[in-house]
């Protein structure tokens, strides 16, 4: 049997008034219980803590605050209510759940990564369904994901999943935004990502959620790089989870896994760490990096947009401005500029130009 990760977002968990929809929660719990009966191992990633916290303060969904600190406070209020709702729903089917709150560093720090994997593995061994949410209440607003789609994709890699199911409020990825184009149709299969496909994703979703189709496509891309099949489907479709795991056509949009995969650390660098700045390189450096096995040296850098410190993630762009790689900087922008300035005093040579900006071990090629 297979390992399955299911993610459901706030817009799918709540009704039009922004209140947790017990009917959809019960339905998802029922389907997960059925998958477990069939022998599948299931991990659930759920949003909804902020939405669950709003009623306690008498705030309606359309009055949802936007500042990070208040949202974090609302998450801390709503998390117990969200957990209780899921717990009651699963209890009806004799299923026990265990909560895990994750933050970005859990995937980037090797020790934290291994601890998270061990905990998830043990929960599965003892027959418990892990219930995962982003640790909104304490995650730094500057580095938090803002949605659980990417966390779900990283969890899929963490548990060595076969299938990632992203439940949403549409039938899947459509050829256009149905709110603007009523002739939009479902894209049933994605093998490779291109600019047109990513443009179809659009921006954020509803006022009740923070993701949207763009973040689901990003998550699907992460999963594809992990060798995991992704299905993006409508949360309100009957038997959506069972049919998605069974591979039934028309359930939603299926994103096929890649034949080549990335390690957990490189997935974190490439897709989970926000870039602090963009570094432009010359044609020679771009070609050398694209071949693989090369580090980015100061001599190849022609421009910097933004500021960064050592350890920050930076996007790497071609002379035409196309971002093709991402990595962790070994030095700050100021130190890089100082090294280049020192080298220019010696006719463009010297050790400064050979300074490593991004080591190959910290570099990810973002091929489509």
Q: pLDDT tier at 140 (50, 70, 90 boundaries)?
A: low
CATH annotation of 274-365: 2.30.130.10
pLDDT at residue 69 above 90?
no
**Residues in the chain, overall count:** 368
d(CA 170, CA 168): 6
**Across-strand partners of 131?**
44, 99
- CA angle, residues 86, 7, 191, in degrees to nearest 5: 165
Average pLDDT over residues 189-208: 65
Alpha carbon distances (Å) from 346 to 18, 68, 300, 301, 351: 64, 48, 17, 17, 10
Average pLDDT over residues 305-325: 95
Q: Which stretch of 164-168, 219-223, 259-263, 351-355 has the lowest confidence by average pLDDT?
A: 351-355
pLDDT at residue 175 above 50?
yes
- Which tokens go with 21? 């929809």
What is the CATH topology of the domain spanning 3-262?
A: Carbamate kinase (3.40.1160)
Task: Give per-residue pLDDT as tens, 6-54.
Answer: 999 999 999 888 899 999 999 999 999 999 999 999 999 999 999 999 9
- The count of other CB atoms within 10 Å of the CB of residue 242 is 17
Name the residue with tokens 């130190």. 335
Name the residue with tokens 């306690």. 56
Tell me which DSSP letter residue 193 carries.
-
Tell me which DSSP letter residue 186 carries.
B
Instruction: From 168, 207, 203, select the one nearest 61 (Cα to Cα).
Output: 207
Q: What is the DSSP string of 117-157?
A: HHHHHHHHHTT-EEEEEE-TTTS-TTT--SSSHHHHHHHHH
Q: Where are the domains of the chain?
A: 3-262, 274-365
Q: Which stretch of 132-141, 155-164, 294-303 has the lowest confidence by average pLDDT?
A: 132-141
d(CA 298, CA 353): 5
Q: Judge whether 3-262 and 274-365 match in fold.
A: no
Q: pLDDT tier at 80 (50, 70, 90 boundaries)?
A: very high
pLDDT at residue 211 above 80?
no
Task: Give per-residue pLDDT as tens, 88-121.
Answer: 999 999 999 999 998 777 887 888 889 999 999 9
């Amino acid at each position: 049997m297979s390992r399955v990760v299911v993610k459901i977002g706030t817009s799918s968990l709540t009704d039009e008034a922004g209140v947790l929809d017990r009917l959809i929660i019960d339905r998802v719990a029922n389907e997960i219980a059925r998958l477990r009966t069939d022998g599948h191992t299931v991990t659930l990633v759920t949003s909804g803590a902020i939405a669950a916290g709003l009623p306690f303060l008498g705030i309606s969904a359309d009055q949802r605050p936007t500042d990070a600190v208040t949202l974090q406070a609302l998450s801390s209020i709503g998390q117990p209510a969200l957990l209780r709702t899921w717990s009651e729903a699963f209890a009806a089917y004799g299923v026990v759940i265990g909560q895990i709150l994750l933050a970005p560093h859990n995937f980037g720090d090797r020790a934290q990564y291994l601890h998270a994997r061990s905990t998830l593995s043990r929960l599965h061994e003892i027959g418990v369904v892990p219930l995962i949410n982003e640790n909104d209440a304490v995650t730094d607003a500057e580095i938090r994901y803002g949605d659980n789609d990417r966390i779900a994709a990283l969890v899929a890699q963490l548990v060595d999943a076969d299938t990632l199911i992203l439940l949403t409020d549409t039938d899947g990825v459509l050829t256009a935004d149905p709110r603007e184009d009523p002739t939009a149709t479902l894209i049933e299969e994605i093998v490779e990502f291109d600019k047109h496909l990513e443009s179809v994703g659009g921006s954020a979703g509803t006022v009740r959620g923070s993701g949207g189709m763009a973040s689901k496509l990003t998550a699907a891309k992460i999963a594809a790089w992990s060798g995991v099949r992704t299905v993006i489907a409508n949360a309100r479709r009957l038997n959506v989870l069972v049919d998605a795991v069974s591979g039934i056509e028309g359930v939603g949009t299926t994103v096929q896994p890649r034949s080549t995969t990335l390690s957990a650390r490189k997935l974190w660098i490439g897709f989970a760490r926000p870039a602090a700045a963009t570094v432009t390189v010359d044609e020679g450096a771009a070609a050398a990096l694209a071949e693989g096995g090369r580090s980015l040296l100061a001599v190849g850098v022609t421009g910097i947009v933004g500021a960064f410190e050592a350890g920050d993630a930076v996007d790497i762009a071609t002379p035409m401005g196309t971002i093709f790689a991402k990595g962790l900087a070994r030095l700050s922008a100021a130190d890089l500029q100082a090294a280049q300035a020192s080298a220019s005093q010696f006719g463009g040579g010297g050790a400064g130009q050979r300074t490593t900006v991004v080591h190959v071990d910290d570099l990810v090629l973002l091929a489509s």
